[in-house]
Amino acid sequence: MSRFRPDSGLTRRMVLTMFLLGLLYVVFVAVLIAVGARAVVVLVIAAGFLLVQYFFSDKIALYAMGGREVSPQEAPQLHAVIDRLSALADMPKPRVAVADSDVPNAFATGRNQKNAVVCVTTGLLRRLDPPELEGVLAHEMSHVAHRDVAVMTIASFLGVVAGLMTRFALYTGLGRNRDNQGGLPIGLIIVLVSTVVYCVSFVLTRMLSRYRELAADRAGAYLTQRPSALASALTKVTGEISRIPTRDLREAQSFNAFYFAPALNRASVAALFATHPPLEKRLEQLARISGELGREA
């Protein structure tokens, strides 16, 4: 529990997404069994990946991004902001990390509040003023409070399984084997089903990802009571990212779903496949909250 505003819409979407992915997983396994595929090993390996990702997601993310935990002596301003937000939200203080990257961004990871870590890049620290930094960190800490980081980790499981099954079918030559009745090759069936499963799970997780970003914007704005600071940070970060070399952005693109703002978000990419809602939509929501808080005052 925390003082971040509960978001029933986010909760419903997380439950619905997990239910649909679970149903899809059951159908997926049933098809594999029906075609006689020996998928036990692959499923065991995928489950192992899930457990590792779930329990060690914080360490994996920090390692992948080159982040390191910093002490209050090393980053006093950053710790001071997180101390204030933790007290304001009445939640355990997450571990604090910094990644040496010019890409201005931040992310939170960890399966629960006690194992959470909030990481910001040096590029973000250089570009934002204290109120803007507070807005970004409130956004990230709301992800932890709402537990949507853990849900996104679990939701990615089915996509991992589908990808592994496709590789398994291709590399083991299952595509050359036919069932006993001379039907379609087992490998071809596995590849087709895995592709469909991967595509559906991909769309579902991206839909959830976009909503969770809007939910985090709302929760962070209400907690700090300064939606304009978060809007300013969003505008500044988006503008600065557009000036970063594409090569550097591609290296960070795999973390888009966990970043405060997408590292690479071209207009040509269909909104259906985006990890974040459009900047305009996020700013419109923050403007409405600003007006609401002004009326309440």
Residue 111: pLDDT band with limits 50, 70, 90: confident
pLDDT in the model for residue 84: 96
Kindly give, in sequence order, each residue whose CB lies less than 8 Å from that of residue 70, ignoring residues fewer than 6 positions away.
78, 79, 96, 97, 98
pLDDT at position 265: 60
Q: In terms of DSSP bridges, do strands 117-121 and 95-99 run parallel, antiparallel, or are they unpaired? A: parallel
Q: Which two tokens stand for residue 219?
A: 């929760």
pLDDT for 227-256, tens place per residue? 999 999 999 999 888 888 777 777 777 677
pLDDT above 60 (res 268): no
Exposure b/e, 21-40, CB count within 10 A at least 16 = b: beebbeebeebbeebebebe
Compare 147 and 153 and report the one with higher pLDDT. Answer: 147
Q: Which listed residue (69, 74, 134, 140) is catalytic?
A: 140
Q: Hunting for tokens 């991004």 — which residue is that?
A: 65
Between the two ends of the chain, the Cα-to-Cα distance in Å is 26
pLDDT in the model for residue 183: 53
What is the structure's pLDDT at 223?
Answer: 94
The reply to whether 140 belongs to the active site is yes
Number of residues written out for the chain: 297
Tokens of 104: 């201005």
Mean pLDDT, the chain, whole residue set: 82
Highest mean pLDDT among 43-47, 132-136, 200-204: 132-136
**For residue 36, what pLDDT band results from cuts at 50, 70 and 90?**
low
Residue 56 banded pLDDT, cuts 50, 70, 90: confident
DSSP 21-68: HHHHHHHHHHHHHHTT---HHHHHHHHHHHHHHHHHHHHHHHHHHTEE
| Strongest mean pLDDT among 36-40, 87-91, 188-192 | 87-91
Is pLDDT above 80 for 141? yes
The pLDDT-based confidence of 174 (bands split at 50, 70, 90) is low
Residue 19: Cβ within 10 Å count: 10
